[in-house]
Structure 1
């Protein structure tokens, strides 16, 4: 494992910790899109089905279990916690997830590495992850309710993907024959989606102002 992959994984893990910290410390999920959290949970469920039949390493196993556990914990808190669920902004979080899920499912059936249920679901998870953040970004743009922890959470998610692009570049030059065009293109699209958010996040950070997205 190279330093870029490790940094990406740790940044991804940190994004979960920041979001859980926000929810637990403030007893609020205001500004967090349940739609995005549901999409990410679907991503992990589809991608980590190999937990039942393939062992890669202890590190790989633990990270998959942590990501699944954290995703389901966030969903539980947002949907069933007596206090937290009352802070969910359902009226503003109205992005139609079906417009994301269906095209990604069709694309996975058409474009994949191998024709099998597991591989098609894996491809589906790759495509879905690339656009799963869209409901969150739309919610932040609508409400302008962006506290520091929420802004940091989204920024860490984008940073994780950017670090993974560096990981892919590194592996391209150090591992002959390593080619994953499907993953690479999806990752580039995902990082590009964060571009506007990165700009306003860094501008707010440099000027020590509250983060706000253009409407």
Structure 2
């Protein structure tokens, strides 16, 4: 494992911890899109179907368990926890996320590396992860004023994917025959979706002002 991959994993983990800290400690999910969290739960559920059949390493298994359990825990908190769900902004979180699922599934059935159930589901999870952040970004743009923890969560989530791109570039030049077009293109699309948010986040950090997105 190279430094870019490790940094990407740790940044991804940091994004989850920041969100759990906000929800569990403050008992608030204000500014957090339930639609995005449901999409991420679906992403991990379909990606890690091989968790109990194909052992890669203890590190790999532990990370899979963390992301699976945390994603479903966040959805449970937002849907079922009495105090947390009161702060959920369902009036602004209206992105029809179900319309992202079917196109990603169809694309996975058409474009994949191997036509097996696990491979198609894995490919579907890659496509879906690329666009899963859309409901969250739309919610932030509608509410405009973003608290620190929510801003950090989205920033770390975007940074994780950016670091993974560096990981792919590194592996391309250091490992023979390393080519994964599906993952590369999906990851690039996902990173582009964060570009506007990155600009305003870094600008607010540089000027030490509250993060606010334009209408």
Q: Same fold (TM over 0.5)?
A: yes
Superposition deviation, residue 91 in structure 1: 1.0
Give the structure-2-normalised TM-score: 0.99
- Deviation sequence 1:80-105 (CA, Å, 0-9, x none): 11100111011110000122111111
Partner of 2:88: 88
Partner of 1:49: 49
- Secondary structure of 2:145's counterpart equals coil
Alpha-carbon distance in structure 2 between the residues aligned to 1:59 and 1:95: 35
- Deviation sequence 1:151-199 (CA, Å, 0-9, x none): 0000000000000000000000110001101100000000000000000
Superposition deviation, residue 25 in structure 1: 2.1
Partner of 1:107: 107
Superposition deviation, residue 76 in structure 1: 1.1
- Deviation sequence 1:13-46 (CA, Å, 0-9, x none): 0000000111122111010000000000000000
Contact 2:29 2:88 in 1 (8 A): yes
> How many residues are aligned here?
215
Contact 2:145 2:213 in 1 (8 A): no
Unaligned ranges ≥5, structure 1:
none
Give the structure-1-normalised TM-score: 0.99
Partner of 1:79: 79
Superposition deviation, residue 6 in structure 1: 0.3
Alpha-carbon distance in structure 2 between the residues aligned to 1:145 and 1:101: 29
Partner of 1:2: 2
Partner of 1:178: 178
Superposition deviation, residue 145 in structure 1: 3.5
Q: CA RMSD in A?
A: 0.7
Partner of 1:145: 145
